[in-house]
Amino acid sequence: MAASAAVVVVTGTVVTATGPHAGDDSAERFDLALPDVARVHGGAVIALVALTLVLLRALWRDGAPAPTTDAARALLLVLVAQAAVGYTQWFTGVPALLVGVHVLGAVAVWVAVVRAVLALRVVPAAVVAPAPPVVAPALVTSP
């Protein structure tokens, strides 16, 4: 999961460095075709969303604890929101403001991935032997 997310972030960085908002006017851009690198980035995003859906299915099937499934659901929500921003910026001519929002969203994706991965590594509490039952002292009555 983390490796897939790293590919998404790296390919997204390449898209940004290739596009019109990779710094000021004197900044050198990558000499790549923007539609091609955007397509590679989109494919990486689809793979990460698919992995997240598979993870959610496995967590549901195995009855994982709520904090673990919550972290995976949060990741899916962040991914869907980030994809919506990405597609919006692509189809509206890559406005600078949306590029900034998308970069901020990349941070949110990474945080959500780290949370989900850490939630998978929760160690169950140690099993403690039950304490012996407490027996009330017998009520002694004298004749």
Q: Are 11 and 38 in contact (CB under 8 A)?
A: no
User: From CA 13, how far away is CA 103, in angstroms rounded?
Assistant: 9
User: From CA 113, how far away is CA 11, in angstroms rounded?
Assistant: 16
pTM of the model: 0.80
What does the pLDDT look like over 13-42, one tens digit per residue? 999 888 887 777 777 888 899 899 999 999
Closest CA to 50 of 79, 85, 9, 28: 79
What does the pLDDT look like over 45-54, one tens digit per residue? 999 999 999 9
What does the pLDDT look like over 102-111, one tens digit per residue? 999 999 999 9
